[in-house]
Amino acid sequence: MALRSRRGRRRIAGLPVLVIVLAVLGAVMIMVPVFALASRTDWLRVPELISQEAPLAALLLSLRVAVATTIFSVAFGVPLAMLLARTDFPGKPVMRAVILLPMVMPPVVSGMALLTALGRRGVLGETLSGWGIEIAFTTVAVVVAHTFIAMPFLVLSVDGALSTAGIGSEVAAATLGASPLRTFFTITLPQTAPAIGAGALLSFARSLGEFGATLTFAGSLQGVTRTLPIEIYLTRQTNPDAAIALSMLLIAVALAVIVVVYSAGGTRYVRAATVPGRKGS
């Protein structure tokens, strides 16, 4: 124990003082607001505050949407990641950049993009509306918006895992006569299962926290499109204590997801996907 402590001190001592000071300031910038929110939370009233009709409806809607978003993200994101990691075709770098774009786009802009595509007068929405299919400002719109925002996190995670795993096992399976479908289910999926799990958790957490795209594309109708982040925003104006309690609930869920992802080593797949020169880039 003493040896480990001395090694830890040597590592810290090896850093420039400026780096340590900036690191501490960076940690303070992130941690102080979180602890401040926790200190203002009336923990004894949390069950009462979050069990009221509107917050409870928003929480249940957020959980249902997050589950649906995770399912769609896995169903479409895993094949998409395989396409990007295992094939070469003209325009692939552009396609990858556009697919990952929702990760950095302002959420309101994402909502506007979805509204332009699927709104009543949108590029596709006008045709769908003629068929009697309305998407915007419905619960379906919430799921679509959250999948649009969250799926790139899963794609990035799985793409990184596939890029680092190589194709040796799959080539061997094909040599032995396994069909592409059998290779996918018996080799590729088991190899990438940790990355898929990490990406699914990140998608779930991102869905729970989505606000701007949801409000822009789906609106705020209680029990239909008003998710927990929107409820927090509206509640803040009339009942700050309840807003703080709901905020801490979201923070607790997000923190749990981060702990699970890190303990499973899932973040290394995200880092691997962003390293220049990886196979499939």
251-265 pLDDT, tens digit each: 888 888 778 777 765
Span 259-280, average pLDDT? 57
List the domain range (segments joined by +) for residue 7: 1-39
Q: Which of 7-11, 41-45, 113-117, 165-169 has the lowest mean pLDDT?
A: 7-11
What mean pLDDT, rounded, does the chain reach?
84
**What token pair was written down for 133?**
């299919």
The pLDDT of residue 280 is 41
Indicate the angle between helix axes 240-263 and 17-39, nearest 10 degrees.
Answer: 130
Give the count of beta carbons closer than 10 Å to the beta carbon of residue 21: 11
Task: Let me know whether 11 and 144 are in one domain.
Answer: no
Query: What is the number of domains present in the chain?
Result: 2
For the chain, percent of residues with pLDDT exceeding 90: 40
Task: Let me know whether 83 and 177 are in one domain.
Answer: yes
Q: Give the global pTM.
A: 0.81
Write the CB contacts of 158 (distance below 8 Å, at least 6 apart in sequence).
77, 78, 81, 82, 85, 192, 195, 196, 199, 269
DSSP assignment of 54-84 equals HHHHHHHHHHHHHHHHHHHHHHHHHHHHHHH
- In the predicted model, is pLDDT for residue 133 greater than 70? yes
Q: DSSP secondary-structure letter at 16?
A: -
Task: Let me know whether 138 and 9 are in one domain.
Answer: no
Residue 278 lies in a domain: no
The pLDDT of residue 185 is 75
Residue 281 lies in a domain: no
Residues 230-252 pLDDT 10s: 999 998 888 888 888 889 888 88
The pLDDT of residue 75 is 94
